[in-house]
Amino acid sequence: MRYVDEFRNAELIEKTAQEIRRRVDPSKRYRLMEVCGGHTFSIFRFGIQELLPENIELVHGPGCPVCVLPMGRMDDGLNLAKDPSVIFTAFGDVMRVPGSHGSPLEFKAKGADVRMVYSPLDALKLAVQNPDRQVVFFAIGFETTAPSTALTLLRAREMGVRNFFVLSNHVLILPAIRAILESPDMRIDGFLGPGHVSTVIGARPYEFIARHYGKPVVISGFEPLDLLQSILMLVRQIEEGRAAVENQYSRVVPWDGNRAALAAMAEVFEVRPFFEWRGLGFISQSALKLRPEFAPWDAEVQFEIAGLRVTDPKAAQCGEVLKGVLKPFQCKLFGKTCTPERPVGALMVSSEGACAAYYHHVYARQAVGE
């Protein structure tokens, strides 16, 4: 398969891993954060940490959309699903995320009309096919998926579809990185920049991280060779005392991003003054809501939304894990009351969540003494 196989070439992977081992200063520790959940998943799937010298530690960042979604927001969405006139639609990623009274899948089993879609356009199609129902799309994701929500809303307006509504939970990656950089327990030496988000926003917006915080950023692809090359580029910058934004994923990510996608987002969305992130708390200007012109399609305007706030179970330490202060297995609930099958926190739900990844790939292996 093109663009996949060449980046899983065993020989090049070994060579790059050797080069990393040669470059690192054994007296130092390198704490590198992969911001994106897709990277977390790949790192575990391909066993990348095993290929690295011991003093390189990969810290799993906040870039997993369902992991940072507060439970109250899920409850708000599922409250709408209780209305028999509503068809509640969401991506597969969301279907197992626990709300206070169950996940979307559990609501479906109890009779709510919950449907998985692969694109918001599919939800719009459902609205056209079911004119007597109200179709709500529970929108989630960073700048990766926000443009498709925006394009769908533009299409809905153009077609005059009035029974389609979006509950926007879209969040922005840069304010989250800034929050981590400002956090007092921050000890990150460099960032692996998200690949998919950057196809939309480009590489330029990360420059403040290098300029103001003196931390190197390398935007990375998702294959094993991509990740190792990016880690090597970070190590080189750190060893040369540089801090710059570099783009390893240039086969996909343009420096200035995707202008058409950015324009669609700007037309449809505006930045919320603040938004709650699970584990990280309220972050100002970190999320998107629909502009007033799109009020007829805005679920927050057209439905009564309670704005529920649900505190995470006290014993769960999702926040500390999200910030990289604790490793997943250091949480009191990990592997005991919180497992991928019965998740307490969202980090255990998504296969991109640090806890689920640890559970599947590290915990079980340690248990067999590998």
Partner 1 sequence: MSRTRPHVRFQDPSIELAHGAGGKASRRLIEGLIAPYVFESGTELRDVAEVALAGGRLAMTADAFVVKPRVFPGGSIGELAVNGTANDLAMGGARPLALVATLILEAGLPTEELEREMAAMARAAERAGVAIVGGDTKVVEHGKADGLYISTAGIGLVDPRVDLSAKRVRPGDQVLLSGPIGDHGITILLARGEIELEAELTSDTRPLWPLVEALIEAAAPGLRWLRDPTRGGVATALNELARDARVTVVLDDEAIPVRPEVRGACEILGLDPLHIANEGQFLAVVAPEYADAALEALRRVPGGASAVRIGAIEEGARPVVLARSRYGGTRVIDMLVGDPLPRIC
Shortest approach of partner 1 to residue 198 CB, angstroms? 15
44 makes contact with partner 1 (CB under 8 A): yes
Using the rule CB under 8 A, which residue among 352, 353, 354, 355 binds partner 1?
352
Element (H, E) at 38: helix 37-45
Using the rule CB under 8 A, which residue among 224, 324, 328, 345 binds partner 1?
224
Q: Look-up: residue for tokens 């029974």? A: 163
Using the rule CB under 8 A, which residue among 21, 53, 119, 183 binds partner 1?
119
Using the rule CB under 8 A, which residue among 14, 240, 256, 293 binds partner 1?
14
Candidates 155-163, 271-279, 297-305, 356-364: pick the segment binding partner 1 (CB under 8 A): 356-364
Region 141-170 residues binding partner 1, contact defined as CB under 8 A: 141-142, 144-145
Using the rule CB under 8 A, which residue among 21, 116, 296, 313 binds partner 1?
116
19 makes contact with partner 1 (CB under 8 A): no
Using the rule CB under 8 A, which residue among 39, 350, 354, 355 binds partner 1?
350
Give the integer Cα–Cα distance in Å for 105 and 90: 11
7 makes contact with partner 1 (CB under 8 A): no
- Residues with Cβ within 8 Å of residue 209, at least 6 apart in sequence: 177, 181, 191, 215, 217, 245
In the three-class reduction of DSSP (H, G, I as helix; E, B as strand; rest coil), residue 59 is classed as: strand
Q: Which is nearer to partner 1, 44 or 164 (CB)?
A: 44
Question: Which neighbouring-strand residues pair with 298?
Answer: 166
186-217 as b/e: b if 16+ CB within 10 A? bebbbbbbbbbbbbbbbbebbeebbeebebbb
Candidates 79-87, 151-159, 324-332, 344-352: pick the segment binding partner 1 (CB under 8 A): 344-352
- Residues with Cβ within 8 Å of residue 286, at least 6 apart in sequence: 171, 172, 175, 176, 179, 272, 274, 275, 277
Q: Look-up: residue for tokens 């998740």? A: 343
Q: Which is nearer to partner 1, 114 or 210 (CB)?
A: 114
Element (H, E) at 158: helix 146-159
Candidates 25-33, 45-53, 79-87, 232-240: pick the segment binding partner 1 (CB under 8 A): 45-53
Residues 50-89 vs partner 1: string with x where CB under 8 A? xx-------------xx-----------------------
Residues 257-296 vs partner 1: string with x where CB under 8 A? ----------------------------------------
How many Cβ atoms are within 10 Å of 284's Cβ, its own excluded?
Answer: 13
Shortest approach of partner 1 to residue 310 CB, angstroms? 20
Cα separations in angstroms, 23 against 191, 209, 318: 18, 23, 34
Q: Which is nearer to partner 1, 36 or 238 (CB)?
A: 36
46 makes contact with partner 1 (CB under 8 A): yes
Residues 24-43 vs partner 1: string with x where CB under 8 A? -----------------x--
109 makes contact with partner 1 (CB under 8 A): yes
How many Cβ atoms are within 10 Å of 123's Cβ, its own excluded?
Answer: 27
Q: What share of the chain is helix, strand, coil (3-state, %, to 5)?
A: 45, 20, 35
Q: Look-up: residue for tokens 């990375």? A: 220
75-105 as b/e: b if 16+ CB within 10 A? bbbbbbbeeeebbbbbbebbbbbbbeebbbb
Are the C-beta atoms of residues 87 and 167 closer than 8 Å to each other?
no
User: Site residues (CB under 8 A) for partner 1?
Assistant: 1, 4, 8, 10, 13-14, 17, 41, 44-48, 50-51, 65-66, 91-93, 95-96, 105-106, 108-110, 116-119, 122, 140-142, 144-145, 224, 340-341, 350-352, 360-362, 364-365, 367-370
